[in-house]
Amino acid sequence: MKTLKNWTYQQHINNRIDIECEYHLKLHIFVLEEDIFRVAFSQNEQFRIPETWAITPNQADIKWTGRDKWSLDGFTLPSYKLQEYDEKIEILSKKLKVIIHKPLWLEWQYYNGKEWITFAQDRKSGAYLFGISQNKISHFMQRNSDENYYGLGEKSGNLNRYGRRFEMRNLDAMGYNAEKTDPLYKHIPFYITHTEKVSYGLYYDNLANCWFDLGNELDNYHAAYRSYRAEDGDLDYYLILGPKILEVTKKYCNLTGGTIFGPKWSLGYSGSTMHYTDADDAQEQLKKFVDLCDVHSIPCDSFQLSSGYTSINNKRYVFNWNRDKIPDPQGMSDYFHQANMKLAANIKPCLLQDHPKYAEVANSGLFIKDSISDFPERSMFWDDEGSHLDFTNPKTIDWWKKNVTTQLLEYGIDSTWNDNNEFKIWDDQARCNYFGNEKPIKLLRSLMPLLMMKASYEAQLSYKPNNRPYLISRSGSPGMNRYVQTWSGDNRTNRNTLKYNIKMGLGMSLSALYNIGHDVGGFSGDKPDPELFVRWVQNGVMHPRFTIHSWNDDHSVNEPWMYPEVIDIIRSTIQLRYHFMPYLYNLLWMAHKYDEPILRPTFLDHEHDIHTFVETDDYLLGKDLLVASVVEPNQRERRVYLPNNYIGWYDFYTHEWYKGGQEITVSAPLERIPLFIKAGSIIPMNPKNVRNTKEDICRELLVMPPIGIGEYDLEIFDDDGESYNYLNEEYLMLRIKVICLSDRINIVLSRSGTFMPKYEKIFFRLPNNESRELFINGRSLPLDRAVLLSDIDE
């Protein structure tokens, strides 16, 4: 490894500044936004990978061949100043400054309105290391004891990553330890540094395996440092100034294309288990699930077909229907659809060597190739060997989309579940087509699942162009947020998993993976006991993705009715989720439209309150609902810290008001987990006992006003929940301003959009002990506290 030391300023071209370094390397500084700069090194004016599939500001998709890394499209490209000195160069926008020092190290400053303040800097004793012959790269930054680190996507352990070392290598880690196991399924080389003064993000745009050391490593020859190391690829990173953590996350989300706006039914309960499709009578088992949901009055919107439906002798063969298990796929789909349930089918990107279509695919050259021959690469997959499809080959993409259409969508399958897509190919030099310019898999491994989900997405969109696609993917890389909902993989059943999956989900959310969840009840190991199952479901319904999924060692099945003694609690808990469905759907809209995280650590909206940075099992669902999950056995009360929001919190169940900035003890009977609603909020809700998202016949607004005088405003979105018609103004947008006085509560209500929902009235509800009179648009509300939609002015 060679340390870069010497450099010479060369030129600036528009918003790119070029600096000549040693070993035919050039340093490029891109001034993209007032608060986003890019730092990239090229060798002989070329990048190892000339394109990016992650960077696409303002929610634009990326073409199959990627985005040229030299492109500045989509950025505002603000004016900047460049100042040269003997031993340094300063490049500054209105908010952000980078100083290039000699020998080479970078110093970062932000403008606080009065002066420039240093908030980050490289390690002075060697910041940038390159393995000139081996293509390895390293970046070292100074580490300070007052820093906290968050993000890196799906990682185990505490939410604050300080003091730990992590590897990014997509891996099928079934039954992982949620507190300690690393690596896991996803490749998200992005993290946030937080200090008391400022927060900022670093995103390394590189698809190769890499490592982050955030204070685990010590070296006597250097001051305290943190590092990024990659086995190959480009040293190319974006620095994103907050200054708040929330702003960093939102800007990074926008930078990588935003969040897909899925259909409303994707937020409903989705059943799943390996057991049903592994059974010899799989179709009957699946139909039985539909029937039992009805018998037990369990609300449900979809079911996820595990891969057993493709099996031949207990092995999995993508795009193959086992007609002995499922003799009538179309009839099975129809049965689910009659019950208003959608179907998502599991698909895998690797064909086992005895797959019925293996020879056809191999002869067509659709597999990734071996490093030393033109034969397909062979890797371990599902207790055998198989070959992975090459999604950088246009012919493979076409083949995949055709099979998604003919083998799934035409049989009534509504969605694709892109699974086992870690591309665990141990021949690092296995050759990928790379759209006609062959590259080794080591440079592209984490790109493959992204292109796989893009192919599935386009197949679904082509089949039903006006239906918003819903997809699921286990593995992926930055940009997957544009296509899919995801989850934390094949977790293990125990209380430790429940506890640390909460933190894992928050870490993903801070990393712009907003639409997430976990395998509720645990995927592998022993089945959960009744109490653990209840607590897991209570936590799960408060996540964007809610799926009970299992492959228990004793062949039992995690189902809502698995324990008769607690089925009433399970039913009421799932019904609670549907009670909150309008709120959840509005959060999904806010994630899509405004890059707002859905799951939020309590500090995300309360950085001023240092107590919110203490590791906890609590989190926010949206800005307004505080969830205090119960993860300890036999716990029937909980200490809960209420963030200091200056206007207080309401207990959701009792409507008792509490002052923020204090810890309280609350009841936590097995029947429920503590929930608190922020004062100064409005929660849109369904009536109780809704069976699915299609039962949208009533709307209630729970108004939780400040205790004293104050005002606030918000907007609530609704539409048909499935189509793109909202792009043509076929939506309902309620704009609400609440003005609280000492003796009355005034609500100014207006609407826009042409969509008329099934519900004709909106009912307003106040806290149980609220005595102030409620006025809507200057009129006292009638006794039923309802307003006709048709009476609301646009």
The secondary structure of 454-520, three-state, reads: HHHHHHHHHHCCCECCCEEECCECCCHHHCCEEECCCEECCHHHHHHHHHHHHHHHHCCCCCEECEE
Find out whether 759 and 698 touch, Cβ atoms under 8 Å. Answer: yes
Which helix or strand (DSSP H or E) is residue 578 part of?
Answer: helix 567-579
Mean predicted confidence (pLDDT) in 151-180: 98
Q: Which of 701, 232, 660 is nearest to 446 (CA)?
A: 232
Does the pLDDT at position 691 exceed 90?
A: no
Report d(CA 522, CA 415) in Å as an integer: 23
- The amino acid present at 297, given as its one-letter code, is S
Does the pLDDT at position 58 exceed 80?
A: no
Of the chain, the percentage scoring pLDDT greater than 70 comes to: 100
Query: What architecture is domain 264-349+393-426+443-588?
Result: Alpha-Beta Barrel (3.20)
pLDDT confidence band for 48 (50 / 70 / 90): very high
Q: What is the dihedral of CA 159, 164, 166, 172, to 10 degrees?
A: -60
Mean predicted confidence (pLDDT) in 158-169: 98
* pLDDT at residue 91, as a whole number: 98
Find out whether 690 and 575 touch, Cβ atoms under 8 Å. Answer: yes
Q: Name the CATH topology of 2-255.
A: Immunoglobulin-like (2.60.40)
Find out whether 252 and 204 touch, Cβ atoms under 8 Å. Answer: no
60: its two tokens: 């634009």
With both helix axes pointing from N to C terminus, report the angle between 495-510 and 530-540 in degrees, rounded to the nearest 10: 10
Mean predicted confidence (pLDDT) in 217-223: 95
Report d(CA 794, CA 779) in Å as an integer: 17
* pLDDT at residue 510, as a whole number: 98
Find out whether 330 and 302 touch, Cβ atoms under 8 Å. Answer: no
With both helix axes pointing from N to C terminus, report the angle between 282-295 and 329-338 in degrees, rounded to the nearest 10: 0
pLDDT confidence band for 755 (50 / 70 / 90): very high
CB count, 10 Å around CB of 655? 16
Cis peptide before 643 (omega within 30 of 0): no
pLDDT confidence band for 584 (50 / 70 / 90): very high
pLDDT tens track for 704-744: 999 989 999 999 999 999 999 999 999 999 999 999 999 99
- Range(s) within the chain of domains with CATH label 2.60.40.1180: 696-791
Mean predicted confidence (pLDDT) in 473-482: 98
Find out whether 774 and 781 touch, Cβ atoms under 8 Å. Answer: yes
- The amino acid present at 685, given as its one-letter code, is M
Does the pLDDT at position 653 exceed 90?
A: yes
* pLDDT at residue 392, as a whole number: 98
pLDDT confidence band for 617 (50 / 70 / 90): very high
Q: What rounded mean pLDDT belongs to the chain?
A: 96
pLDDT tens track for 666-681: 999 999 999 999 999 9
The secondary structure of 723-781, three-state, reads: ECHHHHCCCEEEEEEEEECCCEEEEEEEEECCCCCCCCEEEEECCCCCCCEEEECCEEC
Report d(CA 264, CA 719) in Å as an integer: 9
Nearest-5° Cα angle at 521, 515 to 522: 85
Report d(CA 94, CA 495) in Å as an integer: 49
Cis peptide before 243 (omega within 30 of 0): yes
Find out whether 357 and 333 touch, Cβ atoms under 8 Å. Answer: no
* pLDDT at residue 314, as a whole number: 86
- The amino acid present at 665, given as its one-letter code, is T
* pLDDT at residue 782, as a whole number: 82
Mean predicted confidence (pLDDT) in 193-221: 97
Report d(CA 537, CA 520) in Å as an integer: 6
Mean predicted confidence (pLDDT) in 409-417: 98
User: Going by DSSP bridges, is the β-strand pair 342-347/302-305 parallel, antiparallel, or unpaired?
Assistant: parallel
* pLDDT at residue 789, as a whole number: 92
Domain 696-791 bears CATH identifier 2.60.40.1180: yes
* pLDDT at residue 60, as a whole number: 78
- Range(s) within the chain of domains with CATH label 3.20.20.80: 264-349+393-426+443-588
Mean predicted confidence (pLDDT) in 94-110: 98
* pLDDT at residue 133, as a whole number: 76
* pLDDT at residue 592, as a whole number: 97
Residue 639, classified by CB atoms within 10 Å of its CB into exposed (0-12), middle (13-18) or buried (19+), is: exposed
The reported pTM is 0.98
Q: Which residues pair with 657 in a beta bridge?
A: 650
Does the pLDDT at position 52 exceed 90?
A: yes
pLDDT tens track for 656-669: 999 999 999 999 99
- Least confident residue range of 302-306, 362-366, 696-700: 696-700
Does the pLDDT at position 461 exceed 80?
A: yes
pLDDT tens track for 537-578: 999 999 999 999 999 888 899 999 999 999 999 999 999 999
Does the pLDDT at position 28 exceed 90?
A: yes
Cis peptide before 767 (omega within 30 of 0): no
- Least confident residue range of 92-101, 481-490, 771-780: 771-780
Does the pLDDT at position 689 exceed 90?
A: no
Does the pLDDT at position 134 exceed 90?
A: no
483: its two tokens: 């296509």
pLDDT tens track for 285-327: 999 999 999 999 999 999 999 999 999 998 999 999 999 999 9
- Range(s) within the chain of domains with CATH label 2.60.40.1760: 2-255
Report d(CA 709, CA 736) in Å as an integer: 17
User: Going by DSSP bridges, is the β-strand pair 485-487/516-517 parallel, antiparallel, or unpaired?
Assistant: parallel
Does the pLDDT at position 347 exceed 80?
A: yes
Q: Which residues pair with 109 in a beta bridge?
A: 97, 118
Which helix or strand (DSSP H or E) is residue 532 part of?
Answer: helix 530-540
**Gyration radius from the chain CA atoms:** 27
Q: What is the dihedral of CA 496, 502, 503, 505, to 10 degrees?
A: 130
Report d(CA 687, CA 654) in Å as an integer: 18
515: its two tokens: 């639409």
pLDDT tens track for 487-526: 999 999 999 999 999 999 999 999 999 999 999 999 999 9
Query: 139-161 b/e with 16+ CB inside 10 Å = b?
Result: bbbbbeeebbbbbbbbbbbebbb
